Structure 1
Amino acid sequence: MDEEVQFVEHREVFIEHYGEVPIVKGSFNDMPKNVQAWVASKIDLCKPRGVYICDGSQEEAETIIHKLEERGTLHKLKAYENNYICKTDPKDVARVEGLTYIVSHNKHDSVPHVRPNTKGILAQWMSYAEAEKLNMDRWPGCMAGRMMYVIPFSMGPVGSPLSKIGVQVTDSNYVLLCMRIMTRVTPKVWDVLKKGKGDFVKCLHSMGSPRPNQRKVINHWPCNPDKVLILHYPEERKVTSFGSGYGGNSLLGKKCFALRIAGVIARDEGWLAEHMLIMSVTNPKGQEKFIAAAFPSACGKTNMALLTPTIPGYKVQCIGDDIAWMRFEENGELRGINPEAGFFGVAPGTNEKTNPIAVQTFQSNSIFTNVAETEDGHFFWEGMEDKISDDTEVVTWLGGKWKKGNPEKAAHPNSRFCTPAGQCPIMHPMWEDPKGVPISAIIFGGRRPEGVPLVLEAFDWKHGVMLGAQLKSETTAAAEFKGKKIMHDPMAMRPFIGYNFGKYLDHWLEVEKPPHKVPKIFHVNWFRVDSTGKFLWPGFGDNIRVLDWIMRRVDGEDIAVESPIGLLPKKGSINLDGLGEINWDELFSIPKDYWLADIKETMKFLDDQTGEDLPQVVRDELQKQADRINAM
């Protein structure tokens, strides 16, 4: 499948060779020669009816939107400017982690040595032979009757030394519209490739639904749920995704490129590609710090990146809400960029109370997937009930009628907004700075209803890496898992690791070496509840109080006390003014039996899942923490 056709020198020769596959927009000759060769090989394989070379322009977007409106794929939300709603096939609504694989020649380059009789959950491996067999059952002729879109895009500011280039080939114009929001789609990418080494990440996507359709198309959303397959080839810097049009499966610049493939590039080049937001916090004294934070999907990452402080004098600005690429400068300083250009956030629960900035951001030029719509043309989802009257009629994501009090969900739990980051009113002026921003602190966190304090600081970098490795959280609607249960999500990267997780931890430990100046590491938990199930901490905008404590710790202020699991705030060192009754002792309690069981379970998990690949340093840190808990 992957042998590239002989390079076609001139467009005339190309048309002579592919006479039945016209280029309907753009110039084949504008592309670098290696891109031409790769695209030509995909034309040969997928057999589209035409080729559309994208330029990312507004005119292009308007043309595609008009076409999708006519087809019924997009529906304009009449209450807004250029906001559109899209509803997918109900079988295509989430990332399909169970069908996502890393392909490599050596299995243990991709996955750790799991213990016998243990199912590995830190990435899935597939051999080249198996991948080729499955690919040949899918890709030949898969774009018959459809247009092939060639999307040149930059992850990160175009031309930045911290950025990387990708080219996505797809038969979904919905994907084109979302990639245009989420990445920087521009012909300038061709110039960057021609001036540099010409390296780009190859991203091949198809809905797997050639015409005439073999399967009934639901909601004007062609897909092939029975043959979904997402493969990553880190050694070749390549991704192929077949059968699904849903965001994380089809917007290949996002998790596939920016985490799984970029993680391997980062290892090879000595930097970090992480599932992290980047934000800046400025205190009343005018002191600003940049913070990176890693939470599993749908655990409040976007809410934190776009936080509205509840106490006066603080300012929060956003650099990115989901992915951070961080490199060490020659002077040892860690600097980060947001490689994305948009937000692809979970809609339910997002409202003017939980995240007013996000709501302001997606008032225009946005695409909403699997949300509901009110009769007057407003978007609607769970968490927005106070915005409608009892008799307001709502059309659900499945097309049914809904009113307040109806027990069914109006929007899918994983419905999404896709909106340009540049529209966000609190984007930092440096959010697209090619040099990135200096990172002062790294935060890990998850949904932990029991036992885990509001905030703690790692004793040092090694202890912090262990805290990240043992990260756990309640499952979310972002993936195909059902129900609520605590799952391990090491470094918030469990679904996004592109190589052996033990080696990934080695890489984290390795970057501490001089001259690198590593930031302090913290762990937060906004979600602890009391015996009645009530949250002990108000969360949302009040999380600025915890961020203030973190900033003061970065400056070395003596406001922490040692505990068996890390440095906890001294009592009274977090500003609680105006919060009413907060049970400090319960919020920061460390139940010995809970923690003994927790650390034992963590040690077993990492032992089972990484076996001999678990770095001895992490093993030692786990044992030291167990010893400290035992001695409580």
Structure 2
Amino acid sequence: MTKFEAILTEKMSAESLTKLMALQNEKVLQFVGTFAEHCDPTSIYVCDDSEKDTQYVRDKALALGEEFTLAHSKQTIHWDGYGDQARDKKNTRFMVYKENMAEMATLNSVEYEQGYAEIMSIAKGIMKGKEAVVLFYSEGPTQSPFTIPCIQFTDSWYVAHSENILYRTAYTHFLNMKKTEKGDFFRFIHSAGPLDENNCSADLENRRIYMDTRNNIVYSMNNQYAGNSVGLKKHSMRLAINKSGKEGWLCEHMFVMAALDKGKNRKTYFCGAYPSACGKTSTAMIPGEQIVGDDIAYFRNINGEFRAVNVEFGMFGIIKDVNEQDDPVIFKNLMMNQEVIFSNVLCGPDNRPYWLGMGVEAPEEGRNHFGQWRKGLQDATGKEVGVAHGNARYTMRLDYLDNIDKQGFEAKDGVKVDGVLYGGRDSDITVPVEESPDWKDGILIKAATLESETTSATLGKEGVRTPSPMANMDFVSYPLGTYTMNNIRFGESVKKPPRIFSNNYFMRDENGCFMTSKLAKKVWLHWAEGRIHGEYEAYDTPTGKIPRYADLKVLFAKHLNEEFPKEKYDYLFTFRCTKWIEKLERTKAYYQKMDPNTPKEIFDYWDETIARISKARDTYGDLILPGAFKG
């Protein structure tokens, strides 16, 4: 066997050991054996792809009190500790070798040897007294050009249950790996650590998530919140971004969806990246369209085509403000008796879940992430504890949704992408939809300049605009300038790159009111869809092409049964020269700060764009009405 024969025989049943040995994969045995010895669980269960093992995971999560059954028997609820409710950005770090420390200086990093010593010290004996589980998954469909196999070793059955919903099991994929493939997979070692009386992680001072992108392993200790503990989510994304940068493909923080033109029997695939609270999920779930995935996409050049897969099988969504009116498809599924894990919401006396913005009156007492709760309860700092946490979540299979594009969801070669949307949040700069003249321009002017505005209306502040290139800065795992150039090169490597469009759903009028309803995004999407198929003429601006009023008037009537006044169109689609110059200068400053080695051609492109906008301002004035700019 291996040097780990004794420890694995001691800690595994004959059935689990047989499953592990059947893989004939020395790297798998070394990984499991190393942490069986180092973390010292009492026993280890190995899962294959069977329903028997999937049910075993569900049962263990309930038996250990990590989850509880709700009124709907197939639904469960889980609570993270009061201090473990969101991603721990401070203690999520890249383990970087000394020769790479300089180029990673602006990313949250720790020197490799120091980080390894620290995390292994924390992990020593951390699973004592617990049963651990080893699981096999795939990022993307199994047996496909997109597949990245993954192995998870954890002592949290809630984490295992979550991953069984969120990802495709892949024991059979590991079993069928060719000899040359057996060493190429992602590894995740996780422990919730010591638990308190509520079965929540107790040692939060030693919460660490350390990522080794060179060896494709993530160490996550002393946490339960899924954003910190579920290795295949954003930890895997960081590994994949690094891997794709070396191999010439892309991993992006994007949804994949299909815009439908039923009259023409036409389906057009879009991907989209939006910073938090900028409309990503609501765009992916526009009524009348279809969803393939809501969070992470892999892009590959397959036979000269730009193709994408949804990496995941389920969705780990923010539940706040999910209600019957605004999110009817998701809300309907959360009300059904099917497998869903609710986390950090209120369990009422009726044993049903309640959350913020649910649109249903909540009980005045129950149990939530704080423990036993009643209305008006305050925490140790005197802050009132709400019905549920603002970052409360639901974990659910995507194929429950009526609007799933089943064909695209299961496609081994992914879907051919014709449009990419980049959406930010600002009140007075970016028009609702604008098309880039080409792929490179789209990456540098639409994607790299993304910002999210954090305004405080009560204080009357204009707002602070937070840079968010490609809506991906929390997860970019190598220098920003190189990552940006890789985006450009990948798009230019295919025969016909997707069209790139910018979005901004948050333009306000002079009184501070939003200019359009939430549903207007359907109009912007279908204008973009029509442009891809050559159906609409457009006006030029210094940064791209915008819709003509006559086309939008028809689209508003067709899709929303609304009028769209000309004066509103003029205000929304006016090009604001000085504002755009300031935006580009902020982008330059951010890149200079985050990656001083950003290639000069990127800065040159922005400077040329600034010069073009300045010339337009001299010719047409600071505010250029739609149709006035002549190029």
1:86-485 correspondence runs (5 A): 86-105=78-97, 108=100, 111=103, 120=106, 123-194=107-178, 197-198=181-182, 199-209=184-194, 217=196, 219-257=198-236, 259-283=237-261, 284-309=263-288, 316-330=289-303, 332-362=304-334, 363=336, 364-385=338-359, 387-388=360-361, 395-398=367-370, 399-402=372-375, 409-430=386-407, 431-466=409-444, 467-474=446-453, 485=464
**8 Å CA contact 2:193, 2:202 repeated in 1:** yes
C-alpha change, 1:297 and 1:192, in structure 2 (3 Å) is farther
Alpha-carbon RMSD across the aligned residues, in angstroms, is 2.5
C-alpha change, 1:100 and 1:371, in structure 2 (3 Å) is same
C-alpha change, 1:507 and 1:186, in structure 2 (3 Å) is closer
Q: In structure 2, which of residues 571, 575, 581 is the aligned counterpart of residue 596 of structure 1?
A: 581
Per-residue CA distance 1:186-240 (angstroms, 9 max, x = gap): 421322335651121111111232xxx6xxx153212431112212212112211
Give the letter aligned to residue 85 of structure 1. I
For 1:106 and 1:442, the matched residues in 2 are separated by 37
Secondary structure, aligned partner of 1:348: coil
Residue in 1 that maps onto 2:627: none
1:485 Cα shift? 4.8
For 1:220 and 1:47, the matched residues in 2 are separated by 19
Residue in 1 that maps onto 2:562: 579
C-alpha change, 1:88 and 1:588, in structure 2 (3 Å) is same
1:88 Cα shift? 0.9
C-alpha change, 1:523 and 1:513, in structure 2 (3 Å) is closer
Residue in 2 that maps onto 1:72: 65
For 2:464 and 2:393, the matched residues in 1 are separated by 23
**8 Å CA contact 2:190, 2:219 repeated in 1:** yes
For 1:24 and 1:131, the matched residues in 2 are separated by 36
Structure 1's unaligned 5+ residue stretches are: 1-6, 114-119, 310-315, 477-483
Give the letter aligned to residue 392 of structure 2. S
For 1:375 and 1:590, the matched residues in 2 are separated by 55
1:21 aligns with 2:21: no
Give the letter aligned to residue 41 of structure 1. T
1:95 Cα shift? 0.9
1:529 aligns with 2:508: yes
For 1:436 and 1:110, the matched residues in 2 are separated by 37
For 2:366 and 2:386, the matched residues in 1 are separated by 11
C-alpha change, 1:485 and 1:170, in structure 2 (3 Å) is farther
Residue in 1 that maps onto 2:459: none
For 2:419 and 2:102, the matched residues in 1 are separated by 29
**8 Å CA contact 1:230, 1:240 repeated in 2:** yes
1:241 Cα shift? 1.3
Give the letter aligned to residue 456 of structure 1. E
For 1:19 and 1:339, the matched residues in 2 are separated by 34
Secondary structure, aligned partner of 1:52: strand
Per-residue CA distance 1:552-603 (angstroms, 9 max, x = gap): 1112334321112322212232222233565222222333343333222222
For 1:233 and 1:271, the matched residues in 2 are separated by 20
For 2:123 and 2:355, the matched residues in 1 are separated by 37
Give the letter aligned to residue 185 of structure 2. F
Residue in 2 that maps onto 1:552: 530
Give the letter aligned to residue 417 of structure 1. Y
Secondary structure, aligned partner of 1:137: helix
Per-residue CA distance 1:145-183 (angstroms, 9 max, x = gap): 112211111111121121110001111111000010111
1:84 aligns with 2:61: no
For 1:338 and 1:225, the matched residues in 2 are separated by 33
1:348 Cα shift? 0.3
For 1:57 and 1:237, the matched residues in 2 are separated by 27
1:90 Cα shift? 0.9
Secondary structure, aligned partner of 2:118: helix
Secondary structure, aligned partner of 1:130: helix
C-alpha change, 1:628 and 1:375, in structure 2 (3 Å) is farther
**8 Å CA contact 2:365, 2:373 repeated in 1:** no
**8 Å CA contact 1:110, 1:125 repeated in 2:** no
For 2:46 and 2:493, the matched residues in 1 are separated by 46
For 1:65 and 1:441, the matched residues in 2 are separated by 39
Per-residue CA distance 1:452-500 (angstroms, 9 max, x = gap): 2111111221111112111111469xxxxxxx85321110110111211
For 1:450 and 1:192, the matched residues in 2 are separated by 55
The count of aligned residue pairs is 586
TM-score, structure 1 as length reference: 0.87
1:422 Cα shift? 1.8
1:393 Cα shift? 5.7
For 2:464 and 2:342, the matched residues in 1 are separated by 28
Structure 2's unaligned 5+ residue stretches are: 377-382, 456-462, 618-631
- Which segment drifts farther, 518-527 or 66-75? 66-75
Secondary structure, aligned partner of 2:86: coil
For 2:30 and 2:133, the matched residues in 1 are separated by 15
For 1:548 and 1:265, the matched residues in 2 are separated by 34
Secondary structure, aligned partner of 2:292: strand
**8 Å CA contact 2:7, 2:36 repeated in 1:** no
- Which segment drifts farther, 40-49 or 100-109? 100-109
C-alpha change, 1:320 and 1:512, in structure 2 (3 Å) is closer
For 1:72 and 1:515, the matched residues in 2 are separated by 51
State the structure with bigger RCO (CA 8 A, min sep 6), 1 or 2: 1
For 1:279 and 1:70, the matched residues in 2 are separated by 38
For 1:618 and 1:565, the matched residues in 2 are separated by 16
**8 Å CA contact 2:431, 2:574 repeated in 1:** yes
1:50 Cα shift? 0.7
Per-residue CA distance 1:504-535 (angstroms, 9 max, x = gap): 11211222445542111111011222333322
Q: In structure 1, which of residues 1, 8, 28 is the aligned counterpart of residue 2 of structure 2?
A: 8
C-alpha change, 1:617 and 1:357, in structure 2 (3 Å) is farther
Secondary structure, aligned partner of 2:528: helix
Q: In structure 1, which of residues 502, 526, 531 is the aligned counterpart of residue 481 of structure 2?
A: 502
**8 Å CA contact 1:155, 1:253 repeated in 2:** yes
For 2:464 and 2:22, the matched residues in 1 are separated by 51
For 1:22 and 1:514, the matched residues in 2 are separated by 48
TM-score, structure 2 as length reference: 0.87
For 1:382 and 1:532, the matched residues in 2 are separated by 28
Per-residue CA distance 1:305-332 (angstroms, 9 max, x = gap): 22214xxxxxx111110011111112x1
Give the letter aligned to residue 97 of structure 1. K
For 1:29 and 1:531, the matched residues in 2 are separated by 68
**8 Å CA contact 2:187, 2:218 repeated in 1:** yes
For 2:506 and 2:385, the matched residues in 1 are separated by 25
1:291 Cα shift? 0.4
Secondary structure, aligned partner of 2:251: strand
C-alpha change, 1:581 and 1:549, in structure 2 (3 Å) is closer
Residue in 2 that maps onto 1:116: none
For 2:386 and 2:512, the matched residues in 1 are separated by 23
For 2:514 and 2:51, the matched residues in 1 are separated by 45
